[in-house]
Chains A and B, each alone.
Chain A
Amino acid sequence: MIARSSTTGRIGLRDDALSACVSCGLCLPHCPTYRATGDERRSPRGRIALMRIVESGLAEPNAEWLAAMDTCIQCRGCEPACPSGVPFGELMADTQAFNSGTRRLPLRLRLGLRVLGRPQMLRLGTRLLALAQRMGFFRSSGFLPGRLPLRLPRRPAPAEVDVVLFTGCVMDTWTPHVHDAAQRVLEATGARVGRSGTAAGCCGALHVHAGLREEARSLAHRVMAALPGDQQVLADSAGCGAMLKEYGDLLGTEEAHAFSARVADVHEWLVERLDRLTPVGGRSEPVIIQDPCHLRHVQRVDGAMRAVLAPFVPVVELDDEGLCCGAGGAFAVLQPDLAAKVRDQKVAAIDRAVARSGAAVVVSANPGCSFYLGAAGYQVRHPLEVVAEGLAATGGQEMTDGN
């Protein structure tokens, strides 16, 4: 997608991608930032029109223009809504790559992204933060899990395994119990599961969002180098899975395309093997499904997640057609006011679902969404945590929990 057939102007956007927008406006209501503001500058149609203006040299980027771009969550809710098939994610990633060449990103973003790319630093920082949390120095901020793990598991990289669970950066460090649950479920199918671990590290998704394409490329190289072989690579984080699947486009090499072809979302893989998962049965409490944007709009495997959950718990749907929750990688940190307005919409939808069903637990297959909704006061779990609990005794063994 990012590899382009022709570039036309200033930003270097692919001409066909840009001209695919006929400005019909059908995407407007599917855009969380337009929903929250009613402002065309916060909409896909408006952002595309503004890209066009700069691309064709009619105007220079100014603060208003940059704000229009920076307020995009890159949730890509506009993509499946667009009958013209405008590849909005590509246009915005290219635009942000162009922007990163014309200005310096905020210091905290640069620092944060650098830490993600360095597992050792992230682990050290996390232990310090966890300690400070235990000692009551600060309360949960909304961007960190309620309780960070003190003891961080280290596990060997895969050797003789059937599939590799991609463990990423923050999840591996902050919520290792999610990977444990995912591993238990995968093993319950009889598969031998390895982990990508610190050698592979961060997928680079947030770097792409921020327009730091070169950094993302070098992270991608590291991930690919750490995971040779031809086993499937399974992601239990929607954002990471989406990124890994786009390495082919990011690097444009045959090798990267081959790597991307090995990647699947955990649910996507499990749904083919549902017959091997036996629920304990009995009554279980319903859960409310939140669709992470990168699961629903980008990977489009939200159906698989539902199919995997269905034998284990009754699921309750939200009525907001998968509108973003506002977390968006680093978005909630960089645009806290707008993110909060977007989250208010999600909170209203969750509250309606709670009122309708009495469900108390929200499931989300993405760490960013989980933290952000957790900070709004919901009990949020990964779908596979729920599945793991509902599994009848299996051959899979309990992993040590970092918590």
Chain B
Amino acid sequence: MEVLGPDRVTDGSAARRLYSRDGSVIEGGRAGPVCFPETTGEVVGCVQAARAHGRAFVPRGAGTGLTGGSVPCDDPVMIVTTRMNQILEVDRGRRVAWVEPGVVNLDLAHHLAGSGLHFAPDPSSQQACTIGGNVANNSGGPHCLAYGVTSAHVAAVEVVLSDGTVVVLGEEQGDSVGLDLRGAFVGGEGTLGVATKIAVRLTQDPPKVATLLLDFVEVADAATTVSAIIAAGVLPAALELMDRRVVEAVEPFVHAGYPLDAAAVLIVELDGLPGGVAHEVGLVTRIGSQGGARTVRLAADDAERDRIWKGRKSAFGAIANIRPDYYLHDTVIPRTKLAGVLDEVYAIAERHDLLVMNVFHAGDGNLHPLLLFDSREPGVMERVLAAGEEIVRASLAAGGVLSGEHGIGLEKRRFMSLQFSPEDLAAQDALRRAFDPDGIANPLKVLPTGASCGDVNALDVVPDGVWV
């Protein structure tokens, strides 16, 4: 059965090694044949070929995932969507665009620039990650505070199921009739099939945007200001917190003029009608000053605004300026508990003699504590894992949840039973089996059922370096 020409499938050892990793430090098995389909028909062919050879398959976009979602277990067929990168149709009237799954999030943004419409989810990885990956992980981004995460912006998805059937879930217009299978698919992390076309909903550009940078001498003051802003009835388009180490890491790269001596900065973006925005700028400035902000800076123009955001979005990448490796969690806690849990996070890191950086979507309480380390240091992984687990437990104890936006993948499977009862997990497993009875779509991900992945289960062993 020939599905793809020789230039679009490979089992070279270099390719198989590279496609065994994503954006995280997590290791699993070794990728099997790596396929680069360009059409839905070719994806069907890849799925059928996998089935015919008794293999599983793993969909993959840009591989920027942080939880090992596209890291293979055993040696599955890798279905890489990067060559399915066409924006098929933009319907301005109905505010829907059909795109292929490998379209890069920022490319779609550029394509729509000037049209008055945009695709709201803007993960910090947006310059590289794909819309297919966004859908599979139900990704969020700074601007999802006001606009909602990916699932709120997906109207319909064409999916290749694990038996090779092609279905369209959802409706381009209006709400789907009957059970919302589209809603079930979004966030499925590739375990429910391969998305081959996506109808995304487009959002109208706000008439006016104002971006504020507030800096604080105490992290706790910044955290308290976050809840004070929301309590005052302001719903910013985005509300992000970065602590001192993050600022120090990104400022040399972006030159955004972040104050290097602040303990924390807040980025607050307000949008809407000009009058309303002006009023809210005044309100946030006042709340900030009362809450201990040293300065409140309003970005003068788009260039300054872009620099402020570029710094925020470069944070995970820039940490190598401090340590070569990081391990990142993605828990969500109630906003009012921010100051307390942050305190705990710093204390946990200190107890384990680790550096921690905090940069996160403060507005929705979505923490991203990054534990920094050098994997060449003997014994450091044990400390990193122990600290990570304590952070997760502290977040759950504060009434939080496991994952805000990065998904569960391989990494957080082992924490699932901390958040869900056995009944909850069985229900999720049943849903999954309804889509994929044989368990060949991205197996061993998300749900803590069945065998563990390969010999090397996620972070249970020390990964030697990031890739190798």
> Which A positions have Cβ atoms within 8 angstroms of B?
19-29, 37-41, 46, 48-50, 52-53, 56, 58-59, 62, 64-65, 68, 81-86, 319
A196 to chain B, nearest CB (A): 35
List chain A residues, Cβ under 8 A from B250.
83
> Do A39 and B36 have beta carbons less than 8 Å apart?
yes
14 new A-B contacts at CB < 8 Å, known A56-B465, A84-B318: A21-B466, A24-B64, A24-B316, A26-B128, A26-B314, A29-B127, A38-B36, A41-B14, A49-B467, A52-B465, A53-B14, A56-B468, A62-B13, A86-B320
Q: Judge if B106 is at the interface, Cβ distance under 8 Å.
A: yes
Q: Are B324 and A22 in contact (CB under 8 A)?
A: yes
Which chain B residues numbered 305 to 329 have a C-beta less than 8 Å away from chain A? 314-321, 324-326
Are the CB atoms of B317 and A65 closer together than 8 Å?
Answer: no
> In the complex the two chains form, is B17's CB within 8 Å of A25's CB?
no
Stretch among B47-55, B79-87, B173-181, B273-281 lining the A interface: B79-87
- B-side contacts of A39, CB under 8 Å: 15, 36, 82
Cα-based distance from A81 to B316 in the complex (angstroms): 13
Cα–Cα distance between A25 and B85 once the two chains are bound (Å):
17
Contact code string B21-45 (vs A, CB < 8 Å = 1, else 0): 1010000000000001000000000
* Residue of A49, A85, A319 with most partner-chain B CB within 10 A: A49
* Complex CA–CA separation, A21 to B36 (angstroms): 25
Q: Are A46 and B18 within 8 A (Cβ)?
A: yes
Q: Are B128 and A38 in contact (CB under 8 A)?
A: no
Does the CB pair B36–A84 fall under 8 Å?
Answer: no
Specify which chain A residues have a CB less than 8 angstroms from the CB of B98 in the assembled complex.
Answer: none
CB atoms of A58 and B468 under 8 A apart: yes
State whether the Cβ of B107 lies closer than 8 Å to any Cβ in chain A: yes
The 9 closest A-B pairs by CB, nearest first: A38-B82, A83-B317, A83-B314, A84-B320, A83-B318, A49-B467, A19-B324, A64-B12, A24-B317
Residues of B with C-beta under 8 A to A49 = 17-18, 21, 466-468
In the assembled complex, the Cα of A58 lies from the Cα of B464 at a distance in Å of 11
Task: Report whether A25 and B316 are in contact in the complex, using a CB–CB cutoff of 8 Å.
Answer: no
- Give the distance in Å from the alpha carbon of A48 to the alpha carbon of B465 in the complex: 12
When distances are taken between beta carbons in the complex, the residues of chain B under 8 Å from A25 are 23, 62-64, 125, 128-129
Listed by A's residue number, 20 A-B pairs whose Cβ atoms lie within 8 Å are A19-B374, A20-B321, A21-B466, A22-B466, A23-B466, A26-B128, A27-B128, A29-B104, A29-B107, A38-B80, A38-B83, A39-B36, A39-B82, A40-B18, A41-B15, A49-B17, A53-B17, A62-B14, A83-B317, A84-B319
Asked if A20 contacts B12 (CB within 8 A), the reply is: no
Residues of A within 8 A of B23 (CB): 23-25
Residues of B within 8 A of A24 (CB): 23, 64, 125, 128, 316-317
* Chain A neighbourhood of B107, CB < 8 A: 29
CA of A63 to CA of B320, assembled, Å:
31
User: Is B110 an interface residue, CB under 8 A from the partner?
Assistant: yes
A106 to chain B: closest CB distance in Å? Answer: 21
Chain A residues, Cβ within 8 Å of B36 = 38-39
User: B19 contacts the other chain (Cβ, under 8 Å)?
Assistant: yes
Once bound together, how far apart are the Cα atoms of A62 and B13, in whole Å? 9
Contact assessment for B19 and A40 in the assembled complex, using a CB-CB cutoff below 8 Å: yes
Q: Is the CB of A26 within 8 A of B317?
A: yes
Closest B residue to A319 by beta carbon equals B110
- Give the Cβ gap from A82 to chain B, nearest Cβ, in Å: 7
The answer to whether residues A84 and B321 also contact, given A24-B64, A24-B316, A64-B15 and a CB cut-off of 8 A, is yes
Considering the chains assembled together, what is the distance between the CA atoms of A81 and B313 in angstroms?
12
Alpha-carbon gap, A46 to B10, bound state (A): 15
